[in-house]
Structure 1
């Protein structure tokens, strides 16, 4: 799919993402989306006990839909095109099956433990970030997804207030040091 085809499919002529709210101003959409998605994230985590145990990456679709369904028609739908952001190419959509299998193996390993190590959360965070299955909202959905996983392991997972440190680790040359990335995450036992 060409950039122009993607723009036509997802954006109003001025570049604002098409949305259920009919908002055509980018700044106004960003503000409204921020409020709606954060309210939905709080509700999701408040009712985490009603969410099925995190076992596979496909459950990320449900999280994304829950967070973004009030805003976008395509909420929870996995992309069928390639995506770049800031010059970074995310997982080729044609290799999603293999990527999902790898992430599912990481989830299976994490679910073997009573408590998940910060480095294991870091490895999941990196792999899901690279997977990047949605047009928008990947980071927020991934964080909520991993927070649900943490809660199911009687843990609290918090991310740095400022994303600069995480982005710097993701953008460094060479392989990511999951121990280092894990130090940026706040993982605490709830009991």
Structure 2
């Protein structure tokens, strides 16, 4: 375990961001649980990667965003209000973004479409890890030609980001996306970035042993 990775959890208000984090870390969320609207909370967890190593991750649970009035983003230059975008200081330090929507609320996916564009335009770090989580809170709308999950999956495929469906009430369903995020944030490091120095070190050790004889 080395560095602490910083991950921002974001999305429309009321989609279950806090419930997902509380369930993932503490496993104490039930249908009777109630949460106050988040301003900002910070959670720290040690999460196992798919290689079996444990890494420390700091999650920033952010205030829920307001939905846009016009549906999915049409213009990349469209101006959003302050309560429709992430506060700018998150974009300065975040190494990863977990974007959450409610599978029964199509407008919550629209929020992520705006949010992704805003993050891409304004993030300080060139390389960040993003994933999308659909929190399944009820059955799909049978009257809808394309349900929200299918729409999200298609959008994520175009944006080249991973999409996961979970339930905040089902703790095991949360493991895969957060193991994926933690693994991506902590790639395997090469033994040495300068193989020629490694070779030189071995030759020096060999010469020292020869002189000692």
The structure with more strand, counted as a fraction of residues: 2
TM-score range, shorter chain: under 0.3
Greater Rg over alpha carbons, structure: 2
- Please identify which structure carries the higher helix content: 1
